[in-house]
Amino acid sequence: MSVSTAAAAQTICAPLSVLGSDVTVPLVTGGEVTYAALDYAASAPALQRVWDDVAAYAPYYGSVHRGAGYLSQLSTDLFENARTTISEFLDCRADDQLIFTRSTTDSLNLLAQALPADCQVFVFETEHHASLLPWQGARVTYLDAPRTPAQAVATLEKALAARTASAQEGHGPALVCVTGASNVTGELWPVRELAAAAHAHGARIVLDAAQLAPHHPVSVRDLGVDWIAFSGHKLYAPFGSGVLAGRADWLQAADPYLAGGGASRKVTRRTDGGVDVEWHETAARHEAGSPNVIGAYSIASACKALTGAGFDTLVARERHLIEKVKAGLAEVPEARILSLFGDDAPRVGVISFVVEGWNSSHFAAALSAEYGIGVRDGLFCAHPLVRTLLGSDPQTQGECGAPEAAPGEKSLNAIRVSFGAGTPDEHVDRFVTAVKELVQDGAKWKYRTEDGRCVPAV
Rounded CA separation 285/368 (Å): 45
Nearest-angstrom CA–CA distance, 325 and 429? 8
Cα 238 from Cα 294, distance rounded (Å): 9
**Are 205 and 177 spatial neighbours (Cβ–Cβ below 8 Å)?**
yes
Alpha helices in 166-247 (DSSP H): 191-200, 220-223
Tell me the H-state helices in 36-103.
Answer: 48-57, 70-89
* Inter-residue contact 267 to 261 (CB < 8 Å): no
CA–CA gap between residue 119 and residue 203 (Å, rounded) = 10
Q: Is 381 a catalytic residue?
A: yes
Within 13 Å and on the Cβ side, how many CA atoms surround 429?
5
CA 274 from centre of chain: 42
What letter represents residue 351's amino acid? Answer: I
Backbone angles phi, psi at 373, to 5 degrees: -115, 125
Indicate the helix (H) or strand (E) that contains 314. helix 311-330
> Residue 278 belongs to what H/E stretch?
strand 275-279
CA distances from 252 to 138, 149, 227, 282, 286 (A): 19, 34, 14, 7, 9
Tell me the β-bridge partners of 98.
245
3-state secondary structure labels for all residues of 34-45 = ECEECECCCCCC
Residue 69 and residue 14: Cα distance in Å, rounded?
Answer: 42
Of the residues 119, 177, 381, 454, which is catalytic? Answer: 381
Element (H, E) at 428: helix 425-441
> β-pairing, 350-355 with 335-337?
antiparallel
| Burial category of 58 from C-beta neighbours within 10 Å (exposed 0-12, middle 13-18, buried 19 and up) | exposed
338: left (phi over 0), alpha (psi -120 to 50) or beta: beta
Beta-carbon contacts of residue 13 (< 8 Å; ≥ 6 apart): 424, 425, 426
- Catalytic positions are 381
